[in-house]
Amino acid sequence: MSSQAVCWLDGRIVPAAEATVSVFDHGLLYGDGVFEGVRYYRRTAFRLEEHLERLALSARAIALALPYTMEQLADAVRETIAASTAEDGYLRVVITRGGGAMGLDPRGCARPTVFIIALQLQLADAAKRRDGLRAIIAATRRLPPDGLDPRIKSLNYLNHVLARIEASHAGADEAILLNAAGRVAEGTADNVFVVRKGRILTPPAVEGALEGVTRGVVFELAHAAGIEAVEAPLAPYDLYTAEECFLTGTAMELAPVAEIDGRRMTVCPGPVYRRLERNFRALVQGEMG
Whether the Cβ atoms of residue 45 and residue 38 lie closer than 8 Å to each other: yes
- Identify residue 189 by its one-letter amino acid code: A
**One domain, residues 133 and 274:** yes
Domain count, the chain: 2
**One domain, residues 154 and 275:** yes
Does residue 78 fall inside a structural domain?
Answer: yes
Which pLDDT score, from 0 to 100, does residue 227 have? 96
- Identify residue 128 by its one-letter amino acid code: K
Does residue 1 fall inside a structural domain?
Answer: no
Which pLDDT score, from 0 to 100, does residue 123 have? 60
Residues 6+ apart with CB under 8 A from 262: none
Last residue of a domain, one of 85, 119, 153: 119
Return d(Cα 119, Cα 102) in angstroms, integer.
Answer: 32
Return d(Cα 195, Cα 12) in angstroms, integer.
Answer: 46
**One domain, residues 17 and 110:** yes
CATH code where residue 195 lies: 3.20.10.10
**One domain, residues 34 and 169:** no
**One domain, residues 25 and 93:** yes
The reply to whether the predicted model has a pTM over 0.75 is: yes
pLDDT in tens, the chain (289 residues): 555 799 999 999 999 999 999 999 999 999 999 999 999 999 999 999 999 999 999 999 999 999 999 999 999 999 999 999 999 999 999 999 999 999 999 999 999 999 999 998 766 677 887 899 999 999 999 988 888 899 999 999 999 999 999 999 999 999 999 999 999 999 999 999 999 999 999 999 999 999 999 999 999 999 999 999 999 999 999 999 999 999 999 998 999 999 999 999 999 999 999 999 999 999 999 887 6
Residues 6+ apart with CB under 8 A from 163: 138, 140, 175, 177, 188
- Using the Cα atoms of residue 185, residue 153, residue 141 and residue 181 in order, give the sign of their dihedral: negative
Write out the residue range of the structural domain in which residue 279 sits: 126-287
**One domain, residues 45 and 170:** no
**One domain, residues 145 and 242:** yes
